[in-house]
Chain A
């Protein structure tokens, strides 16, 4: 068997029909990792034994409750699914490094809420995936454990910072993966690896147990091979958490069911600020094709403006390092991990930037000002969503780039986030979807919606894929 042919949906059917066992599934996942990981470097830790043990238990369970198999999968929708988790999620007794040498030997004493939830749903954690250290980066090259490579062309980056999670799904090592998105860290690698990636609304999914990067921007999301798998993963991950005061008490829709409902008179906005000269021509062509397809489906396309877009990256690179500088303070080497000399260049850069922007005398001019502009950016979106249902934009201004191409120029690297940081600043959801290949390299497009409109994004995406 080959995971290439499977999705979470198909795997459910397969397990229900006894076409294959959970153990066979896990073995297939582990084989693919053995074959590819040395080169792709998607996984930092592979939980081979634990995964196989759990698969055996699941097979026994399926055997025992076979006459109630439907109920079993209703209770545990991810039963037996091999999934991967970005290595900045705490996993009890499983090494959690955040991609940094500071935590090279660190094993948490507790599971992140999301890890607990997907375990409860029956998923099998195959391993922990590579990332830019502390999730700082847009290419995966900032990992202290070597860069992850793009399965489409191994000389190219897979995007970041959730590099390993995206590659694990794209290269058929697992069926779904969990990641984090602070400025585009799910959407951009999803786009570079030709898969579906969702950054939910801030507050939709618990951050408890996720090693914080920038707390007011961090969101927990997921990667799937298709829209329906992504919707299913979100359904399991989302919801209020007593351990995260910023989670919403809004009930969680049944996304996989809701997404099948047709949206009538869909109005899609194209923010003109996202289609400027900075956008790669070939990407623009791909996006235009997507827009045409939506038009053919009957969607109304409206050009709109998000006037404060030009300030987004500057605002992001003030707020984010400020919070980073505070969040990384606990890694002092006293209780666990190694001392601060183990921080890489990018972490040091952000600690210094953030320490500076929060210092007295500079706070008002930088942090406070940035927070005010952030409110304006949020208002831009609120105004836009009065006119249209969703927005359609590119994910990245450029195609996947070569490993090493931008590492010497942090500013150029930061520009990779230009179309994604806005959603984090505004706290709105963004769904990254494949738009096709250019010279065998993937291009993605992004759907953005108002806060807590994930349902709508899934509906639009599902309809699009049905008609593509």
Chain B
């Protein structure tokens, strides 16, 4: 018996626009006191009407373009009708059949659609004066929420986790979202099932959607648990996937397992219809082009460029890309570093290891600091070459790793060299010599 895993992801990401999706309230639900960023619109009071936040539309289109999606020139909002205490209008303004973006491809995973909707309010279930109460914070009500749906192209828990990390990096790069999973700014609901091959016959286990996941690690754990559970379940019951037997399970982190939340997922009827309060949206090709032009360099391209042009290690690039502030500082410092002929990896080390305070150090001062450090007494070149040879012959495994492409290990050798020379050498120079010898 062998099996394949099918995982599709439904990802919700809160956009970090200044104002909410359909009103002028501040989009700030983490710092603020509960129910301080509300108005008749996001409270769903009688008579209030939504007006679209154009910035949110542009940001979703930008994200869609970065995900390789098609952008139809006609789109609209729809009402998704259902009752829940966190949904004050009794319907959510969402998009049904004409999403802003469709048919994309990201990290070799097909993207089915990207659409825009409003977030719901937040419920708190607490005990006050020995009474169990449910409290509602409407600060989150009406926050622009982007929903990204993939095809079931993912094949493992690790792959799903890596995909989500890349997606998070992407939206941060595009500056459309902070996408912090712990804060609920990015939420992921994987749908998992298995294709089991037994005696030449293929069986498909029922679809399971997993909710309540608030970290990348839990995504991985929840999917892994589901794979194991579905296998066992199938062996026990032999139940196969069919229309109407999709279930919803929640990740219970305390007990490290998924628990059944809802059966017959497909039975819910949201009675979608076009939102009459919002005219449909029509775009021109020119408008889409303008958004396309505003696209910054994406993480993949940037990584390649940084490694190739500035000889940074992949770890250094990862650290820079993961920190907007440090990246901005590096980019600001580049002209100076080039002019002063400073070793880029050395400068980046100072930046990422917080050896300098980038909020206070001007790039010129950084260059000077590196230069003056380089002015420490230098051992003669021949002596250095001798030492380099020694270090290389003493560390055959590291050299082998380097040759295989794990270029970061060079720092181990640089460290040894600095020790040997008692600091009387220029790290950049040594790095260059080591590299030359090993290639």
- Kindly state whether residue B152 has any CB partner on chain A within 8 Å: no
Report the separation of the CA atoms of residues A246 and B40 in the bound assembly, to the nearest whole angstrom.
18
Q: Is A9 an interface residue (CB 8 A)?
A: no
The interface on chain B, measured as residues whose beta carbon lies within 8 A of the other chain's beta carbons, has a size of 27
**Which residues of A, 100-149, contact B by the 8 Å Cβ criterion?**
103, 106, 108-110, 112
Besides A209-B48, A245-B277, A246-B277, 19 other A-B contacts (C-beta < 8 A): A90-B47, A103-B46, A106-B46, A108-B40, A108-B46, A108-B47, A110-B40, A208-B47, A208-B49, A214-B276, A215-B276, A245-B278, A246-B49, A246-B279, A325-B81, A326-B91, A334-B85, A363-B271, A367-B273
Q: How far is the CA of A416 from the CA of B40 in the complex (A)?
A: 35
CB contact under 8 A between A330 and B88, given known A358-B81, A359-B271:
yes
Given the complex of chains A and B, what is the CA–CA distance between A378 and B428 in angstroms?
A: 76
- Please, which residues of chain A bring their CB within 8 A of the CB of B277? 215, 244-246
For chain B, residues 238 to 276, give those with C-beta under 8 angstroms from any C-beta of chain A.
269, 271-273, 276
Instruction: Given A245-B279, A359-B269, answer yes or no on A329-B81 (Cβ-Cβ < 8 Å).
Output: yes
A90 to B90: give the CA distance in the assembly, Å: 20
Pick the contact of A243 from B51, B88, B272, B276 — CB < 8 Å? B51
Complex: chain A residue closest to B41, CB-CB: A243
B83 is an interface residue with CB less than 8 A from chain A: yes
Please count how many residues in chain A sit with their CB below 8 Å of the partner chain's CB atoms.
Answer: 42
Identify B89's interface contact among A89, A216, A330, CB under 8 A: A330
Name which residue of chain B comes closest to A89, CB basis.
Answer: B47
B12 at the A interface (CB under 8 A): no
Q: A109-B40, A245-B50, A367-B273 known; A326 and B90 CB under 8 Å?
A: yes
Closest to A96 in B: B46
B295 within 8 A of A: no
- Within A180-227, the residues touching B (CB, 8 Å) are 207-212, 214-216
Residues of chain A contacted by B278 (CB below 8 angstroms): 245-246
Establish whether residues B49 and A330, one from each chain, have CB atoms under 8 Å apart when the complex forms: no
Assess whether B52 is interfacial by the CB under 8 Å rule.
yes
Q: In the assembly, what is the distance between CA of A336 and CA of B88, in Å?
A: 11
Q: Is A372 an interface residue (CB 8 A)?
A: no
Interchain CB contact under 8 A, A109 and B45: yes
Given contacts A329-B91, A330-B88, A358-B81, contact A112 B273 (CB under 8 A): no
Contact B48 A208 (CB under 8 A): yes
Chain B residues near A359: list those with CB within 8 A.
269, 271
Say whether A90 contacts B81, CB under 8 Å. no
Q: Is A242 an interface residue (CB 8 A)?
A: yes
Given A330-B89, A330-B90, A335-B88, A363-B47 contact (CB < 8 Å): no
Most buried by B among A98, A244, A332: A332
A90 proximity list for chain B (CB < 8 A): 45-47
Distance (whole angstroms) from the CB of A20 to the closest CB of chain B: 35
B208 contacts partner chain A, Cβ-Cβ < 8 Å: no
B271 contact set on A, CB distance < 8 A: 325-326, 355, 358-360, 363
8 contacts between A and B (CB under 8 A): A108-B47, A209-B47, A216-B276, A244-B51, A246-B278, A330-B46, A330-B90, A335-B43
Contact with B along A42-83 (1 / 0, CB 8 A): 000000000000000000000000000000000000000000
Q: Report which of A326, A331, A332 forms a contact with B273, defined as CB distance below 8 A.
A: A326
Q: How far is the CA of A323 from the CA of B273 in the complex (A)?
A: 9
B68 within 8 A of A: no
Within 8 Å CB of B345, what residues of A? none
Given contacts A108-B45, A207-B49, contact A322 B91 (CB under 8 A): no
- Would you list which residues of chain B between 62 and 111 have a CB under 8 Å from chain A? 79, 81, 83, 85, 88-91
Which residues of chain B are near A336, meaning CB under 8 Å?
45
Residues of A within 8 A of B91 (CB): 326, 329
Tell me if B44 counts as interface (CB < 8 A to partner A).
Answer: yes
Counting from the closest, the 5 A-B pairs by CB-CB distance are A329-B90, A216-B276, A358-B271, A215-B276, A209-B47
CA distance A216 to B83 in the complex (A): 22
In the assembled complex, the CB of B323 is this many whole angstroms from the nearest CB of chain A, namely 39
B-binding residues in A (CB < 8 A): 89-90, 96, 98, 103, 106, 108-110, 112, 207-212, 214-216, 242-246, 322-323, 325-326, 328-332, 334-336, 355, 358-360, 363, 367
Q: Tell me the smallest distance from the CB of A181 to a CB of chain B, in Å.
A: 16
Contact of B273 with A363 in the complex, beta carbons under 8 Å = yes
Given contacts A207-B49, A243-B51, A335-B88, contact A330 B279 (CB under 8 A): no
Q: Is the CB of A112 within 8 A of B47?
A: yes
Interface readout for B167-186 with A: 1 if CB under 8 Å, 0 if not? 00000000000000000000
CB 8 Å contact bits of B8-47 with A (1 = contact, 0 = none): 0000000000000000000000000000000010011111
Of A210, A329, A331, most buried by chain B (CB within 10 Å of CB) is A329
The answer to whether B90 touches A212, judged by C-beta atoms less than 8 angstroms apart, is no
- A-chain residues with CB within 8 Å of residue B269 when the two chains form the complex: 359-360
CA distance A109 to B40 in the complex (A): 8
State whether B90 touches A332 (Cβ < 8 A).
yes
In the bound complex, residues from chain A placing their C-beta under 8 Å from that of B51 are 242-245
Q: Please, which residue of chain A has its CB at the minimum distance from the CB of B277?
A: A215
| A108 neighbours in B (Cβ, 8 Å) | 40, 45-47
Q: How far is the CA of A330 from the CA of B271 in the complex (A)?
A: 15
Return chain A residues, CB-CB under 8 Å to B40: 108-110, 209
**Given the complex of chains A and B, what is the CA–CA distance between A341 and B81 in angstroms?**
19
Interface centre among A98, A209, A355 (most CB of B within 10 A): A209
Most buried by B among A322, A326, A334, A359: A326
Which residues on the B side are within 8 Å of A244 (C-beta)? 49, 51, 277
Residue of A nearest to B85 (CB): A334
Scan B203-223; emit 1 where CB is below 8 A from any A CB, else 0. Answer: 000000000000000000000
Write out the residue numbers on chain A whose beta carbons fall within 8 Å of the beta carbon of B279.
Answer: 245-246
> A90-B46, A332-B83 are known contacts. Are A245 and B52 too (CB-CB below 8 A)?
yes
Q: Distance in Å from the Cβ of B412 to the closest Cβ of chain A?
A: 62
Q: Do residues A212 and B47 form an inter-chain contact, with CB atoms below 8 A?
A: yes
State the CA gap A367–B274 with chains docked (Å). Answer: 10
**Cα A330 to Cα B40 with chains together (Å):** 13
A109 to B41, CA, bound (A): 12
Contacts of A367 in B (CB 8 A): 273
Query: A215 — which chain B residues lie within 8 A by C-beta?
Result: 276-277
A208 to B48, CA, bound (A): 6
Report the bound CA distance from A98 to B46 in whole Å. Answer: 10
Contact check, A245 vs B46: say whether CB atoms are below 8 A apart. no
Q: How far is the CA of A363 from the CA of B271 in the complex (A)?
A: 8
> In the complex, what residues of A have CB within 8 A of residue B90's CB?
326, 328-330, 332
State whether A329 and B83 are in contact (beta carbons under 8 Å apart), knowing that A207-B49, A209-B48 are contacts in the complex.
Answer: yes
Distance in angstroms between the alpha carbons of A111 and B130 in the assembled complex: 39
Complex Cα gap A330–B84 (Å):
10
What is the chain A residue whose CB lies nearest that of B46? Answer: A211
Cα distance, A328 to B79, chains bound together (Å): 13
Of all chain B residues, the one with the shortest Cβ separation from A218 is B276
Contacts of A325 in B (CB 8 A): 81, 271
In angstroms, Cα B48 to Cα A245, docked, is 11
Shortest Cβ gap from A219 to chain B (Å)? 13
Of the listed residues B45, B47, B49, B51, the one surrounded by the most CB atoms of chain A closer than 10 A to its CB is: B47
Contact B48 A322 (CB under 8 A): no
A336→B40 CA distance, assembly (Å): 13
- The answer to whether A210 and B47 touch across the interface, beta carbons within 8 angstroms, is yes
Within the complex, what minimum Cβ distance (angstroms) separates A250 from chain B? 14
Inside 8 A of A96's CB, which chain B residues have their CB?
A: 46
B49→A243 contact, CB < 8 A: yes
The smallest C-beta distance from B123 to any residue of chain A, in angstroms, reads 11
Contacting residues, chain A, for B46 (C-beta < 8 A): 90, 96, 98, 103, 106, 108, 211-212, 330-331
